[in-house]
Chain A
Amino acid sequence: MQRRYRTVPDLKIHESARALAFEDPALAGKLTAMGLLPGTLIEMVRTAPFGNAYYIKADGVRLALRKEEAASILIDL
């Protein structure tokens, strides 16, 4: 089935998109408290040297997220 949304790992380097919602409530608690909210502009900056993690900017705030964490953030197309 064709997915109707993307998640953060789908972003190319230096591509930006707005966060829509979170899939995992426990992570959502952590991320929203850190200021990553639905509507926040997320920019993919780079992947970690050994993979499995991303360096992103959320409204200008630099965050490091694991792949699973990034994949729980739904973004607009």
Chain B
Amino acid sequence: MKEAGEKLLNVALVGNPNSGKSTIFNKLTGLRQKTGNFPGVTVDAKEGRLRLPSGRELRLTDLPGTYSLHPTSSDEKIVAAVLANPRDPHFPDAVIYVADATHLEKHLLLLTQLLDLNVPVLLALNMSDTAAEIGIKVSPGILAERLGIPVVPVSGRTGENIQKLIGEVEKLLLAPLAARKPFYVPTELEKQVAEAVCLNLNLDNPYQALLIAHHQSWLPFLSPQERATLEAIVKNKEFQSLRIQVDETLERYDRFTPLVQAAVQNPPQFPSTPTDRIDAFLTHRWVGPLFFFVVMLLVFQAIYDWSAVPMDLIENMFSGLTSWLKIHLPQHWLSDLLTDGILAGFSGILVFVPQIAILFFLITLLEEVGYMARVVFMFDKTMRRFGMNGRSVVSLISGGACAVPAIMSSRTIGNWKERLITTMVTPFISCSARIPVYAVLIGLAVPANRVFGILSWQSLTFGSMYALGVLAAFASGFVLKKVLRTHDLSYLAIELPVYRMPHWKNLWLTVWEKVLAFVIGAGKIILIISIVLWAMARFGPGDDMQQAEAEALRIAATQQLNDTATADLVAAYQLESSYAGCLGKLIEPAIRPLGYDWKIGIALIASFAARDVFVGTMSTIYSIGSSDDDVMLREKMQSATFDDTGTSVYTLATALSLLVFYALAMQCMSTVAVVARETGHWKWALFQFAFMSLLAYFGAWVVYHLFQ
């Protein structure tokens, strides 16, 4: 138990990309972790809780992988910004440095920088089992002695020595920090600059001062006065930051290379490995891109095929529950709220879970085995034509699952313009939330018969919606490339990791975490909106609802309708007089040119919070008052007519127009919020919202008039 007043200790995991850091993190924390994936969570890294043998709990943060404290991209900047600032709430009380034991000679640069920052640190030699298998002998004793820190050989794969690692963390936290001799000996100029910075900023660690001097232009914790002072120091001393950074890096290598040579026996000789043989195909001039497209096709195939059964199961479960409740609950508006509001909303959320889980599973799998880096390499040139970076491919593919994590993955892009364009165009890619909207509308209006014998018109329309999204993304990228200006360096320089079997635990944890984030994050919004909508449709201004009922009953009496028809007529009249009806009617003139009636208007407005709301909203609107529970949404929509002309609402033209609108419009509060956060300005989020909405309106208008 945490005692009152006792500060929660921070321990950070730091290491190079591909060091297996996240696997160690998952081994240490298991399910007790969360990510800042959804708005409202300000922490940018994964966090988990870890209990020490003594019972004390600490906060473990998995910082983004980086090669050096001299960063070149936003996720690397996060690491430098936290570690250069002891006042940062995430500044670690101790660091677990994870290095790949099979490539130790490339993995110690960052560790030596941490040593000079004087943070308590221990070295976890990951993949020690793999190293032993390929004949590399690493002596932890020599490393511990020469580096002056504890060294623990571990395996993220088997979990070997993880308990020992936890024990060493505890010892490290208890031991007083001994003064260390600096690993890197600064030059005379660096000493002078560090001294000046220490004096002005009241610091005592010269390497920290040096880091601040190097990165004064962007470090977020500096005040404007501090920044001005630092700028003056750097200018006055003619401190050529870039060159000095390179010299520092080379000097560090010179110092730790002999140390690695002393500690490692049988260093690798780089024979031809399975990775080389696989890459001969997967990055081949012809086979490579072809393989990529086949993989993408398989991914989409899997999403539709594998998810059909669980989706039907969930849907049937909910409709069964709803019918049962309608029979057994007393007639009361609270019962209606439960069945038509809350349950309708819930099934709208949970029905996506299979598709989201499958999509995230496959995308994470591609990332885990090391294939994504190859995609980045192959398509860098293509993406640059459209103002983006090879790394943008990862964001765009992830956008097929959900734009929120996809936009966050663009942090690895160092160039501001390329990253901004990636952020701007990713929401065009049809995300999983659009799937149910597409499914309902296509099932409604597109004939199921086949073209060319194999493809059905329906699946062809489905495919076209994805193609439209991709087209819109690339076209916008092309336009934005012409408009935006930057002086940032654009680079590809990416490590192509060794192919490896996925860590299934990592995979399941990621899928679990994303599904949970979706159900809780997006689900909250969907649920609230379902309830609000239900209330808006159930109640109306003044006594309009009573009048509507009386009017409907009068008409029913004159037309001698049976009970069911009378109830439906009453419901229809009441909906029209409700608050929701008033709102829908209000915007009807604006959306009538697109072929929509006021009921669709209600769904459109609601969908601006999250597009998945569409199906739930339609269910809510069409289910109110209806006595027949077995009638599916699709059938109800099919029989819908315009109030004034009496013509059918859901013609092919309307359905296609709606499809295009949903494909192109920015209808997701979570994405708007994450864009504002990631770009640092609301203006970009608003710009994106305006330009996607306009494009959607225009596109829908064109399609409606083409097919009418």
Residues of A at the B interface (CB closer than 8 Å) are 22, 25-35, 37-38, 45-53, 55, 57, 59-66, 69
Contact = CB atoms under 8 A, between A and B. Distances in A.
B250 A32 contact: yes
B246 A51 contact: no
Given A38-B250, A69-B492, A30 B275 contact: no
Interface in B376-418: 376-382, 384, 390
13 contacts: A25-B242, A29-B70, A30-B491, A32-B253, A34-B106, A35-B109, A53-B380, A55-B377, A57-B270, A59-B106, A62-B496, A64-B494, A69-B492
Interface in B281-303: 283-286, 288-289
Interface residues of B, number: 45
B285 A49 contact: yes
Main secondary structure of the interface of A (DSSP, over half): mixed
Contacts, number: 116
A60 B268 contact: yes
Contact of A50 (B67, B245, B270, B379): B379
Given A29-B70, A29-B249, A60-B268, 9 more contacts: A27-B491, A34-B106, A34-B495, A37-B253, A50-B289, A50-B382, A53-B380, A55-B283, A62-B275
B72 A30 contact: yes
A63 to B, nearest CB: 6
B636 interface: no
Contact of B250 (A25, A26, A37, A65): A37
A35 B242 contact: no
Nearest to B492: A66
Contacts of B106: 34-35, 59, 61
Nearest to B257: A37
B246 A25 contact: yes
A55 B249 CA distance: 24
A52 B378 CA distance: 10
A65 B492 contact: yes
A66 B268 CA distance: 27
B243 interface: yes
Nearest to A66: B492
B315 interface: no
B68 to A, nearest CB: 4
A31 B253 CA distance: 13
A11 to B, nearest CB: 17
A28 B245 CA distance: 9
A50 to B, nearest CB: 5
A53 B72 contact: no
B494 A63 contact: yes
B377 A53 contact: yes
